[in-house]
Structure 1
């Protein structure tokens, strides 16, 4: 397949249709387009949309505030671009489309006849009357030719809505405290109206993923809703799949689908403000959060404060480009890497969904580890080093409070995805010098994942999202240890498990080696090669094997979200071993070419995200350079709602893009090595932190253009980089990385050790 690089690069420049301000008049935050990735549609049939939402709030906010276009659930986000009505303005904790919401609450403005259920109260809107920024959202809705404008500003745990009403004798605000339409557990929410204080308090105990994890009798999403306008009448309502029962002047309500409303008269263009405070600890803590984060009613002040926070965070990488579209794509991707894991602690305390108790300390949650161990967490080492240790510490707290490191906390164990990639995240941070946590406890936690099979391991098949198993750790680990592979007739997704257990074992081994645990290191490194036992020389692929050693009859059996091509190069921790296994560098490259040229590579999912960089290891780095140009282009990333090829998965897809345009990528966790790709901006500056002080690392691509995609030479602080690799230490200690770019591959740009 011949790649039309010129057409792809040109497509980036053609994606903008509206006049834009000059670049020098805009700051980094102004380039962010939160609508990118909000489309439910994928780039082609059978592919997913980005699964993002235009949330408002600061980086890593505990609660996201967003306009709600549908009743969200697992597999549906609260905001979807194709929708045409607004059902509410929501405080949500849903991290991504495949995970559930928990502890949410919403408010919806209305005029005229009181309508309470989401579909009944929905108001039409047009994207032409919508503004979306990280720090501000606005939309104008129409009802019987009258308009209501809704605006959102937010801090981390509290938000403010501002509604502009028309003249009306019947204006309302409808609160939905809980909205269960389908759930396998009986959750009952509660709220109370306090007319004198002008507020509604309550809690929502629903966890949409609750059927996958342990019971949490103390879990509640507490909320306080305050209004800056006195209400003339009020009431509560209760409904479960049927028309709501309205309780006139009722002040309290319990139920699975219930809420409250307040009513008042409004003048033309009258603004009514609503503050929402959230907490997982208590109503009292929610009130404290509000007093700290939004002690005032100044909507514009909150907008500007959060904008300043985003500007500081986004400006940690500064790019120079003549393309406004490319800048918008870049800064939106960077924005998406600063949302998760989310803050879960509340000013020195946190509720733990792992032991159902309140603790002192700092906590993060919603780690999409199967995705984010690859690029997001390594990116945070550069962009948010101050958060790395607390994020590791949070994982260790989950281990202490629940017994195992989590695989995908939402907000507790969920039995989702495979592998125990918290191991790779922790080991990678350790290797790169992040060690402000209990290192002995960290090693204990990751070692347990590697050494101890889960309870009744050989009695279960460990399907993804199996109910009633609570959590699986490494399901099939018994066979991995005894047979040298996970047996396909005993454990589901056996090939992928074998490969990914090896990735984690390799990562832990690097930590073990540094800690002087030689016996563990040897065992872990030996296990990390178990994937080789699944190589079938007759097919040329990694195939599933049965307990008795026979090959499974189906060559596509045993994989997670993919097939035999998806995982052929999956052993990112042992690239030389893969080359030898597949017949040497020449045959390895032949297979890589077949993978890309034959259309087997799927950029819309994570397992192959390192594949383009593998040509570096096989002495053909120019092919990596071609592929990075191709896959950072409009083929996968666009400044449109349909703008991310595949689910963003809590920032992993976006982190891949950021590394891609910077010019290097973390192929193997647990090491300092980054594989060189190809820079896509003429100049990019990383604001780094070294020894507690700020420093700058500048990446310059001389002669970069639509045609000049190939690296001719590369220097670091004036010294030639001889191989297509660079280390974390070199970047942290360095100042200036310079690429000379050209139109044709330079086959001698790098030399290789014999």
Structure 2
């Protein structure tokens, strides 16, 4: 309502001589509508951040509810392990995808796509049916996506998506046409996409998708058994991604296709690169709606999902419901005193933190990719644990403590059904990345009092990670993306337990494994101590010191060692023995014993000098996770102002409101969670310790809604005198009690009403 209408409504009320109370009520309503233009949290989200090739953010403009089982999105390329389905740099759209790909270096599975089309010729393959588009004709939000697709004779097709968790409603606005068409692709095994990490041979030989058109029911059903990560996981004979697609307009013509061959009038098709098509006669600007429902359980369950999530054809209602679901989550943190551009960066980061792990259960039931059966209960999947244990999961202990416990329950289900907790489920075991960092997730939650899961079973699962080596541990190197043989767990654990490190000539990525196993052992030790399991505690704490066995004091670096103890020297850029990094990337990766690491490296002065070199000589890689805590290490050696300087720098240069605005793969929310913690002013350097290291707040005020002991409360973080010059902290007060060290305990934080930072332009030591 504009101002003139507001004035008019007031005049009408006065003229009719209404009672004062009624007048105030109506005036309040009028003002409410007048002020409804105020942006809500979700309105600041820019899903295009991180979608460009430059920056390699690996994000996508997903549509769906928070943690949705299926993400619905535009598709600009054929995705595989190594590329997402949407890349901002691409010029064409080839479909609208129901996707389950969580990130760049993991695979999609059980997917299906739709693509609108007009014209006499039926074009089915992605490279033939793609349409050039303009980003200016595109709109993306977490609850709605639209794009105009210029087609034949300069006629546009408008495509729109809104979605819930397992289902979506697509709305296609066609020009006048006798053959307004939708191409459905039920599976896409394209051998031309074969490369070093995508082996199509076994999938082409073993699996086939299936699709069926039912003109009487005006729908298409099918299943897709493809898992792009199948080569690095166990076989799953029963795995299928089921789908139902239903139309609001009577199908006029139809057919199926396989490869480039089209079968007009055929209702059923199987194959490895195939689908179906349906045609309608449309008037100008006529809308054709398609309901799509997905399931990993059955077609019957897909129909149940559709009934629950898409009870009607009301596209706008679905948009509003999903928008509200996002606002409920994103409004848990309110930031103020900053420009809209910074709010977009912040709320997009928070949006990225509410995408994964994905829901995997379907209204009380779930398919398990760990025993290939259907079970009762709730389930989640796609945990990027090597990345997310560092900041994402600690952030969720603040924002979503109950959900954190549910995620642990999901991991424990995988343990019961498959024998181990996974490292990186997609949707089953995959031997990607290293370490058993479910240990860190559970320990951090347990030590914070989050225990709404089977704690005894959790300890059993963690203890197995620490104590039991994987199959053929001394015979296999367990290299990155090796073809599946068995679950990797802690490869090299046999040596780690006997000689005190993982030897480079026996097991791949030996230095990184030794460091990360030592941290995971420390995490389990904290839980063991709390549970009174002191024998385990002593053994685990002893192993947690194994990091010292790969520190070469002469060279000043963590370096690979052979089984016989011989060292392997490396130059600054050699990645041998490391996971996604070099000897600089992993130099300071001792989260569990930072004082011990500092002493080992020659004391505080020597440690600071090495840390300075790390940043001054550009060895620091913010685009990958192992070094995410490095900026905060100055707090441990008496120079917190250097942390504060670097927080200001790196929250700005690595995060921008642009398609290339995430510097490095977001990795299911880890990069984004680092940003959120860092602009708030504290960071979980050692998950499991209940201690946050102080950074430097970047916003004048942040309000966080926390759930403490079952009740919501608000924590307000204030940065007084914050400015471009005033980037240093002079004093910190927690509810008017001054903090005298650059650390804050988790329980002090969640029970506080206010944390007040007094900022200054001069470095100071707390």
Shared fold by TM > 0.5? yes
Partner of 1:570: 589
CA deviation vs aligned residue, 1:119-173 (integer Å, no higher than 9, x gap) = 1111111000000000000000111211001000000000011001011122100
Given the alignment of the two structures, is residue 697 of structure 1 paired with residue 715 of structure 2, yes or no?
Answer: yes
Native 8 Å contact 1:212 1:470 kept in 2 = no
Partner of 1:174: 183
Equivalents in 2 of 1:471, 1:130: separation in Å? 43
Equivalents in 2 of 1:251, 1:563: separation in Å? 55
CA deviation vs aligned residue, 1:550-601 (integer Å, no higher than 9, x gap) = 1124454311111111011001111011001001111111111110011000
Equivalents in 2 of 1:360, 1:82: separation in Å? 43
Native 8 Å contact 1:223 1:279 kept in 2 = yes
What does residue range 576-591 of structure 1 map to in structure 2 within 5 Å?
576-591=595-610
- Structure 2 counterpart SS, 1:273: strand
Partner of 2:173: 164
Match of 1:109 among 110, 116, 119: 116
What does residue range 319-358 of structure 1 map to in structure 2 within 5 Å?
319-358=335-374
Equivalents in 1 of 2:755, 2:35: separation in Å? 28
Given the alignment of the two structures, is residue 608 of structure 1 paired with residue 627 of structure 2, yes or no?
Answer: yes
Change (3 A) 1:24 1:268: closer
Partner of 1:30: 43
CA deviation vs aligned residue, 1:190-230 (integer Å, no higher than 9, x gap) = 01111111100110000000011111000000000000010
Partner of 1:549: 565
Change (3 A) 1:426 1:213: same
Partner of 2:533: 517
Partner of 2:147: 139
- Runs (5+) with no aligned partner, structure 1: 1-20, 43-48
Match of 1:257 among 270, 273, 277: 273
Give the CA deviation at 1:24: 8.0
Partner of 2:316: 300
Give the CA deviation at 1:503: 0.9
Equivalents in 2 of 1:552, 1:86: separation in Å? 49
Equivalents in 2 of 1:376, 1:357: separation in Å? 30
CA RMSD of the aligned region, Å?
1.2
Give the CA deviation at 1:383: 1.5
Equivalents in 1 of 2:608, 2:190: separation in Å? 52
Equivalents in 2 of 1:90, 1:322: separation in Å? 36
Equivalents in 1 of 2:484, 2:69: separation in Å? 28
- Structure 2 counterpart SS, 1:271: strand
Partner of 1:425: 441
Partner of 1:128: 136
Partner of 1:228: 248
Equivalents in 1 of 2:58, 2:563: separation in Å? 38
Equivalents in 1 of 2:233, 2:287: separation in Å? 43
Native 8 Å contact 2:338 2:699 kept in 1 = no
Equivalents in 1 of 2:552, 2:321: separation in Å? 58
Partner of 2:702: 684
Partner of 1:195: 215
Give the CA deviation at 1:68: 0.6
Equivalent residue pairs, number:
717
Match of 2:395 among 379, 382, 392: 379
Give the CA deviation at 1:637: 0.4
- Structure 2 counterpart SS, 1:459: coil
Equivalents in 1 of 2:561, 2:225: separation in Å? 44
Given the alignment of the two structures, is residue 412 of structure 1 paired with residue 428 of structure 2, yes or no?
Answer: yes
CA deviation vs aligned residue, 1:333-382 (integer Å, no higher than 9, x gap) = 00000000000000100000000000001100000000000000000111
Higher relative contact order (CA 8 A, sep 6+): 1
Give the CA deviation at 1:23: 12
Q: Give the structure with higher Rg (CA).
A: 2
Equivalents in 2 of 1:727, 1:156: separation in Å? 36
Native 8 Å contact 1:74 1:98 kept in 2 = yes
Equivalents in 1 of 2:463, 2:560: separation in Å? 26
Give the CA deviation at 1:22: 11
- Runs (5+) with no aligned partner, structure 2: 1-33, 192-199
Native 8 Å contact 1:405 1:445 kept in 2 = yes
Native 8 Å contact 2:249 2:288 kept in 1 = yes
What does residue range 268-307 of structure 1 map to in structure 2 within 5 Å?
268-307=284-323
Partner of 2:60: 53
Partner of 1:72: 79
Native 8 Å contact 2:519 2:590 kept in 1 = yes
TM-score, structure 1 length as denominator?
0.94
Equivalents in 1 of 2:469, 2:570: separation in Å? 27
Give the CA deviation at 1:264: 1.4
Give the CA deviation at 1:249: 1.1
Give the CA deviation at 1:247: 1.5
Native 8 Å contact 1:415 1:469 kept in 2 = no
Native 8 Å contact 1:188 1:254 kept in 2 = yes
Equivalents in 1 of 2:530, 2:400: separation in Å? 25
Moved over 4 A (4+): 21-24
Given the alignment of the two structures, is residue 664 of structure 1 paired with residue 682 of structure 2, yes or no?
Answer: yes
- Structure 1 counterpart SS, 2:133: strand
Native 8 Å contact 1:413 1:470 kept in 2 = no
Partner of 2:164: 155
Equivalents in 1 of 2:505, 2:568: separation in Å? 8
Match of 1:100 among 107, 111, 119: 107
CA deviation vs aligned residue, 1:471-508 (integer Å, no higher than 9, x gap) = 20000001111110100111111000000001100100
TM-score, structure 2 length as denominator?
0.93
Partner of 1:742: 760
Partner of 2:17: none
Equivalents in 1 of 2:506, 2:430: separation in Å? 21
Native 8 Å contact 1:321 1:327 kept in 2 = no
Native 8 Å contact 2:471 2:486 kept in 1 = no
Give the CA deviation at 1:470: 3.1
